[in-house]
Amino acid sequence: MQTEYTIMTASAKMPASCWGIYKRVALVEVEKGMEPKMISERAKGLVRIVRTWEKLNVGTTDKCAYRRALTEAQAELAKLNTGENQ
C-alpha cells in the first residue's frame, strides 16, 4: 500500500460561551489517491494522524494561531515529503 502525507483542516468543538471561529489542523498519512472526510483514525483511507493542532483561533492576520499552525504544518509536510523520496 502506497501512502502520502497531506494537511487537513476542520472546525473545532468549542463551548457555546466562546465567541469567534476556531479550527483544528492535522498532518495525516493517507492511502495514495484517497481523501478522508474527517480527521479521525476511523476515517476511510486514513493510515495515521501524524500531528494535530487543536482549538486554534482564526483571526484576520497571518499572526493568528490558525495561520501559524498551518504554516508549521506545511513546513513539516515538506520535511516528510523530502524524507520519503530519499
The model's pTM is 0.89
CB 16 within 8 A of CB 42: no
Cell numbers placing 76 = 513539516
Nearest to residue 2, comparing CAs of 29, 37, 36? 29
Q: Residues 34-46: what's their mean pLDDT? A: 96
> Average of pLDDT values for 30-54?
96
Here the cell at position 53 is: 493542532
The yes-or-no verdict on residue 58 having pLDDT over 70 is: yes
> Residue 47 above 80 pLDDT?
yes
The domain limits of the chain are 3-85
User: Partners of 79 in the beta sheet?
Assistant: none
**Phi and psi at residue 39, to the nearest 5°:** -90, 90
**Residue 84 — pLDDT band, cuts 50, 70, 90?**
low
Q: What is the pLDDT of residue 86?
A: 45
Mean pLDDT of the chain: 94
Consecutive H or E run containing 70: helix 65-85
